[in-house]
Chains A and B, each alone.
Chain A
Amino acid sequence: MTGEAPDLELEAVSKRYGDAWAVRDASFRVLRGEFVTLLGPSGGGKTSTLRMIAGFIRPDAGQIRLRGERVNEVPPYERDIGMVFQSYALFPHMTARDNVAFGLKMRRLDRRATARRVDEALALVRLEAYAGRYPHQLSGGQQQRVAIARALVIEPSLLLLDEPMSNLDAALRASMQFELRQIVERVGVTTLYVTHNQEEALSMSDRIIVLSSGRIEQIGTPLDVYASPANEFVAGFLGRSNVIRCRVLERGGALITAKMESGDTIAARAPEAAPGEAVRLLIRPESISIRPAGQSGENCLQGRVSQVAFMGAFAEYVVDAGGTALLVQEPLGGGRGVRRPGERVTLWWDPALAVALRGAPPEAGRP
């Protein structure tokens, strides 16, 4: 496997519209067989990146390479890529079967082989019975499957999906995520998936590329990106987190002790921070545990519950502690009820679950 060119490689790719940069200096690779997600808020540059890879727009700077070959100037119809569009873009004047067969027709496959492969593709997405229907006779979920079949039947080197779940209702979305992942694995195609939905990204991907305002914020496995966010944007985009400003007191291996503005000392993971440095601590609400008030010890903060929200399987509390308001999530059930506002508590967390970010806080205007 080593030495083989990645299926997709972007090197310092940029695209601008007038004065605004849609994509700025993006570099990443997708290896053979990987399922990589481009995750980011709307307008963040994901779709522009995807369209450059597909060949509908040209980058203003940088290289796009498919299996090692530079394709910046290659038109879309000469790239061996299958794409599923957000609106599915099925040909309204053709049946599902003809839609799926279109790519094979362009490749001049003979009729018998085309029919066989179309049948296989429709079977893969479980739509054999609907082959003769027109797009307007199909439900949203069925149209999506036709789009997937159409993109896969040509056996592309790379599969691109542009927010394919955004037009489905929530229940269908969950089952389709699972099914899509299965289909893609069965076929073994390298996949680049674009979405703004972090749950999809976390559950489906081998790796996630977080993109915001045209810049890549972080690339990593779902666990990396969730548990060790590179900055506040990533931390805030995937799940929520608390941000605590403090100053490093001392370093011990990978952990640091830091002092909050209120004077409490807390510990977190920060392999590179130096004593005296100002850092921001990120700790997720579900990582903070609530203990009876008055407990002392390492990493304990005394606080008072100020707001309560019942969320069904868990409750969310805003706790005033350490001079700041912290969001805390606590599972319910097993006899534990919802706490009341005003209750005094101790907050504690495992230092390994908190990450300290160095450097200047994000500029105003950037998420």
Chain B
Amino acid sequence: MRRRRTPAARALTHAGRVVVWLLRAGALLVLVVPIALVVGLSFARDAYVVIPPSGYSLRWYANIVAERDFLPAFVVSLEVAMIVTAVSVSAGSLAACGLYRWDPPGRRWVELALASPIMVPLVVTGAALLVFLNRLGVTGAFWNIVIGHVLITFPYVVRTVSAALSRYDAALDEAASGLGGRPWDVFWRITLPIVRPGIFAGALFAFVMSFDDFTVTVFLIGADMKTLPVAIYQYMEWNLDPTVSAVSAALIGMAVAATLVIERFVGLDRFLGIR
């Protein structure tokens, strides 16, 4: 009843299993170790990067405030991200709803257009915006950055809201209008609240993408105005103390919080398309 396999075949199976687990461990190490290291070193006492640290201290966190650049940069990043989120979420959600309700004849083209910023490399977007906006000369660095971030984030909002809408049961709309609801009422009172988690996920994603962005921003910054990632980069080039680790740990904390929030409210696997 048992099929005997040759020892060579058995060895191959065993080797295969070992390889798979090694690859998994490798991937996890790559993903976890750098971030864990940053967080760990942010509590180190030494004035330069020493592994392992000689002692622990919170002084680098305090130093963040002392350093001239970080706080203003943080404020700029925050302002930009909030404006960008508001604009992206509005334009993106409305667009997703428009696509859902209308089903226009050139639908594929409209979808393609709305998704196009994702398909263009960030470098190209940054460079193009720098040249274009400078030539227009209308807006300063701050608004240039806002525009840039809006352009690269709104397609994601369209996508997450569209995904939420695609799971929406159209029969609800029909039931509501059958009960006497006019299209605007149906949209505002029925469709929108149900799709809220998708909007929320898109908003969070837009906020994080804007806050985190480096590539597009670096093309558009001005002499006396920078975002937090840019400030970190500049500090990194000249300084070796763990203040950067502390700031980085703070941003990692933000990423963890965002991840957990999305998981709690929308479900990460659904958000990322895995379920």
Direct contact of A and B (CB under 8 A): yes
State the A residues within 8 Å of B (CB): 66-69, 71, 74, 77-80, 107, 157-158
Q: How far is the CA of A79 from the CA of B1 in the complex (A)?
A: 6
Decide yes or no whether B182 CB sits under 8 A from chain A. no
**A-B contacts, CB under 8 A, total:** 23
Per-position contact with A for B206-226: 1 when CB-CB < 8 Å, else 0? 000000000000000000000
Decide yes or no whether B3 CB sits under 8 A from chain A. yes
Q: How far is the CA of A107 from the CA of B3 in the complex (A)?
A: 9
Q: How far is the CA of A224 from the CA of B3 in the complex (A)?
A: 37
Main secondary structure of the interface of B (DSSP, over half): loop
Decide yes or no whether B108 CB sits under 8 A from chain A. no
Decide yes or no whether B5 CB sits under 8 A from chain A. yes
Which residues, 5 to 53 on B, are CB-close (under 8 Å) to A?
5
Q: Which residues of A contact B2 (CB under 8 A)?
A: 66, 69, 71, 74, 78-80
A16 CB, min distance to chain B CBs, angstroms? 26
Q: How far is the CA of A74 from the CA of B13 in the complex (A)?
A: 14
> Which residue on B lies nearest to A156, using beta carbons?
B1
Residue among B1, B2, B4, B5 with max Cβ neighbours from chain A (10 Å): B1
Q: Which residues of A contact B3 (CB under 8 A)?
A: 77-80, 107
Q: How far is the CA of A66 from the CA of B1 in the complex (A)?
A: 6
Q: Which residues of A contact B5 (CB under 8 A)?
A: 78
Q: How far is the CA of A69 from the CA of B3 in the complex (A)?
A: 12
Further 5 A-B residue pairs, CB within 8 A, beyond A78-B5, A79-B1, A79-B2? A66-B1, A68-B1, A71-B2, A78-B2, A80-B2
Q: Which residues of A contact B4 (CB under 8 A)?
A: 78
A333 CB, min distance to chain B CBs, angstroms? 46
A–B complex contacts, Cβ < 8 Å, 21 sampled: A66-B1, A66-B2, A68-B1, A69-B1, A69-B2, A71-B1, A71-B2, A74-B2, A77-B3, A78-B3, A78-B4, A78-B5, A79-B1, A79-B2, A79-B3, A80-B1, A80-B2, A80-B3, A107-B3, A157-B1, A158-B1
A263 CB, min distance to chain B CBs, angstroms? 56
Q: Which residues of B contact A158 (CB under 8 A)?
A: 1
Q: How far is the CA of A74 from the CA of B2 in the complex (A)?
A: 8
Q: Which residues of B contact A80 (CB under 8 A)?
A: 1-3
Q: Which residues of B contact A157 (CB under 8 A)?
A: 1
Q: How far is the CA of A158 from the CA of B1 in the complex (A)?
A: 9
